[in-house]
A = this chain, B = another copy of it.
Amino acid sequence: MSDSDDADEAPDREEFGHDPVEHASVSAGMTVAELAAEYGKAGIGAADLHEAVAVTGEILDGEATTFLGLAGAMVPAGMRAVVADLIRDGHVDALVTTGATLTHDTIEAIGGKHHHGREDHPDLDDRAFDERLREEGVDRIYNVYLPQEHFAAFEEHLRAEVFDELGEEVVSIAAFTRELGRANAAVNDREGVGEDAGIAAAAFEHDVPVHVPAVQDSVLGLQAWLRSQVSGFSLDALADMSPLNDLAYEADSTAAIVVGGGVPKNYVLQTMLVTPGAYDYAVQLTMDPPQTGGLSGATLDEARSWGKLERDARSVSVYADATITLPLVVAAARDRAE
């Protein structure tokens, strides 16, 4: 039942038995940084979480040029301030995200609100319930509600504050998102409507480019298209790839923080395909499973085969809900970085 009788203590054996799992211990009043240290004693996902804190701490503390990929419903889910604060504190050099993220970010910048669904998801997946939401003019994003009138206000904001500034030209997507950030900051400041001007505004104010490769795939993109129907305005899909690739090319060291999968994840990673270097640090927070074979859940080791990560890059993936892990990792990494 056991091989112990023939298990000697040969050198090869050493590698499997030199680093004992200790046990996490928790108490009232402990800090997030203390909790993260406890995860470091443990195994499975807790060990990954601890490593993500360590790598993120090095990134926040260091000089690596940092690319943040942000997918998923992170703004409706309440992650807007965590991201905006990272930008404000100088921890992000380029943001790659979705049109939906900027749409929801802007809705909040001009005073709109997302709303909690009822506790315990009483009606999720209920066709009848979703039909009723439709009748009431409420969009659902998992357990978050968004009244549709906010889209009308969003449309008006774009018309009054953004498109006129951009004029009749074909511009890059990053120029469009920069103008959006400027307008969000201006309106928020002028009218004091939202609690916080948000992600696009923070990026504008700190000169961080916001790349949205699939901008057409969002309400923001639909509005841009409507504008292009009545003016010379349009978006050049390729024009902002040069500054992004230059940023990677010119960096001494680079870091990728990837929240969720999709286009933002791949676009952050692919930037290294046209540079001689590759990422020195990479942290991935996702709930997409690797078994699908899709890029969203792929391990960071797979990215090594493509040359997107350095051989000795410090990298880690945490497979758990990013609305839980992002605030936890950032809080603990900020502690560590100080």
Contacts and interface: CB of A to CB of B under 8 A. Distances in A.
A123 B122 CA distance: 9
Contact of A273 (B18, B21, B130, B222): B222
24 contacts: A1-B219, A2-B155, A7-B148, A16-B136, A25-B85, A28-B338, A32-B35, A35-B328, A41-B78, A45-B322, A46-B324, A49-B324, A73-B295, A125-B301, A217-B270, A218-B266, A219-B270, A225-B238, A236-B236, A262-B262, A262-B263, A263-B263, A320-B324, A324-B324
Contact of A142 (B73, B173, B298): B298
A294 to B, nearest CB: 4
A58 interface: no
Q: Secondary structure of the A side of the interface?
A: mixed
Interface string A101-137: 0000000000001111111111111111111011011
Closest A-B pairs by Cβ, 8 of them = A42-B78, A4-B149, A45-B321, A7-B137, A214-B214, A44-B293, A142-B293, A26-B331
A157 interface: no
B305 A44 contact: no
A46 B78 contact: yes
Given A73-B295, A217-B263, A35 B139 contact: no
A80 to B, nearest CB: 4
By size class, the interface of chain A is 35 or more
Given A7-B149, A45-B291, A270-B217, A331 B126 contact: no
B23 A78 contact: yes
